[in-house]
Amino acid sequence: MTSPSKTTTPPRYTTASPPPYTPSDTHSVTSTSKSILGRVFNRKSAEATWSRRNEIQKRVDEEESKQAARAAYFSGL
């Protein structure tokens, strides 16, 4: 009992042009690039940045008002 020989030819590759891209490939590359650049530059949305700035400014204003009250108290002694 001999098994029939299965001959397969290896795929042919050419260097003329790359394989065509599908929309899913393009989307994958775009989303990957955005996520990598987002991590590298630590970019956040404008709304998150604005919210953070407001929070920091609020803390600064509170601290300044405390210092002004302290200065007024000690200047009156």
Q: Which helix (H) or strand (E) holds 15?
A: none
* CA atoms of 65 and 43, how far apart (whole Å): 32
Sign (positive/negative) of CA torsion 42, 44, 48, 50? Answer: positive
Token digits for 27? 């989307």
> Residue 14: its pLDDT value, please?
67
- Mean pLDDT lowest for which of 28-32, 35-39, 45-49? 28-32
φ, ψ of residue 21 to 5 degrees: the values are -90, 145
Query: Tokens 């001959």 belong to which residue?
Result: 7
Give CA 55 to chain center in angstroms. Answer: 22
- Provide the whole-model pTM: 0.40
SS3 5: coil
pLDDT score recorded for residue 19: 67
State residue 3's pLDDT score: 56
Above 80 in pLDDT, residue 26?
A: no
Whole-number pLDDT of residue 60: 97
